[in-house]
Amino acid sequence: MITFAFTGHRRRLRLAVHAAVLLVWAAVGVAVIAGNAEALPIALWALAGAALLWNGGRRGAGRETVTLTPALLVLSRDVGPFRLQRRFELYRIAGVRSIRLPGLTGGRHRIEFRYDGRPRRFGRGLSSREAQCIVGLLRRATLLFDGLP
């Protein structure tokens, strides 16, 4: 099993998720305070807000993790307080390649492959060397399944 972790990707999405959650937090706060709540609900509300702010600003938030096992490729994304995970069976992966990102990214790359005929992408913002290393590992892992029906 091999695992790669990319930190800081999906920054805009992470900020949007945190902004939405903080808006809900603020609405709950208005209801708690307007309802003349006891000290404990107000303290819990304040603690939840502090945890949300901390999670939004921490360095590891927005981390993308790629795990390669003998049978699966597992992509995990931490977006704010949520974790999204997708699993891909290696024998169904085809056309693994590195794509250079357009624009002012300074030669940054991402990984793309086909899974059940649909393109899938991950690892946005990788250096050329990082992308080629991951592409090589994925190609070797999927090569084992090329002879299967």
| pLDDT tens-digit series, residues 117-132 | 999 998 877 888 888 9
Q: What is the mean pLDDT of residues 22-29?
A: 86
Q: What is the mean pLDDT of residues 123-143?
A: 88
Residue 79 makes CB contacts below 8 A (sequence gap 6+) with 10, 13, 14, 17, 61, 62
Task: In whole angstroms, give the CA distance from residue 29 to residue 47.
Answer: 11
Residue 102 makes CB contacts below 8 A (sequence gap 6+) with none
2 pairs with which residues across the strands? Answer: 68
Phi, psi of 93 (to 5 degrees): -90, 135
Highest CATH level, class, for 2-7+61-143: mainly beta
Residue indicated by tokens 């990788």: 126
Residue-range domain boundaries for the chain: 2-7+61-143, 11-57
Q: What is the mean pLDDT of residues 86-102?
A: 92
The pLDDT tens digits for 27-83 are 888 887 787 767 777 888 888 888 877 776 665 556 788 898 889 999 988 765 678
Our CA angle for 36, 29, 18, nearest 5°, is 170
Please report how the helices 11-34 and 39-57 are oriented relative to each other, as an axis angle in degrees rounded to 10: 170
By the 8 A CB rule, do 80 and 87 touch? Answer: no
Statement: the pTM of the whole predicted model exceeds 0.85: no
Q: How many CA atoms lie within 13 A of 63 on its CB side?
A: 15
What is the Cα 112 distance to its own chain's centre?
A: 15
97 pLDDT higher than 90? yes
